[in-house]
């Protein structure tokens, strides 16, 4: 087993664009990186049964989620030749149009970065114990179902 330890991936509220830009800029000094892949999950203003989604409130079983993310991370590092991987997921209320998930992978070559990023996002959506409550303009809500 690796000596890596679980990292806190959670941020309160939306993931700020300035934080995303700063995260990308910090990698300019690592000249062994040849490719980055970035996924940004954004809250959509869906209309569901005539009701408009104005935001999503994210909750998680944090200890379990951090352990599961650690396992996903370990699997992906074992499978792909990555230089680094960063994951940030919102907790609390995120308004429509704001970023709720930021996944950033880097490697010497683009294909590994792209494939690892895609797999990471798919596994987060399928395996992480994070729940979203879609908040409607009418002060009503429903629990989000990932598709």
Q: pLDDT tens digits, residue range 99-109?
A: 999 999 999 99
pLDDT tens, position by position, 37-49: 999 999 999 998 8
- Candidates 126, 2, 143, 118; CA nearest to 65 is 126
Distances (CA, A) of 75 to 83, 85, 90, 100: 14, 12, 23, 23
Report how far residue 45's alpha carbon sits from residue 48's, in angstroms, rounded to the nearest whole number: 10
Report how far residue 133's alpha carbon sits from residue 9's, in angstroms, rounded to the nearest whole number: 19
Q: What is the pTM (predicted TM-score) of this model?
A: 0.92
Q: According to CATH, what is the number of the domain 10-143?
A: 3.90.1170.40
């Amino acid at each position: 087993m690796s000596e890596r330890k679980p990292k806190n991936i959670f941020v309160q509220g939306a993931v700020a664009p300035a934080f995303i830009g700063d995260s990308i800029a910090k990698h300019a000094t690592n000249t062994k990186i040849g490719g980055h892949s970035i996924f940004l999950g954004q809250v959509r203003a869906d209309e569901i049964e005539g009701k408009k989604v104005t935001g999503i409130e994210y909750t998680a079983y944090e200890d379990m989620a951090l352990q599961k993310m650690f396992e996903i991370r370990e699997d992906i590092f074992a499978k792909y030749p990555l230089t680094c991987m960063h994951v940030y997921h919102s907790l609390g209320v995120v308004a429509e149009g704001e970023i709720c998930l930021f996944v950033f992978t880097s490697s010497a070559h683009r294909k590994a970065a792209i494939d690892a990023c895609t797999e990471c996002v798919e596994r987060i959506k399928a395996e992480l114990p994070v729940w979203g409550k879609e908040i409607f303009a009418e002060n009503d809500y429903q629990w989000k179902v990932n598709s």
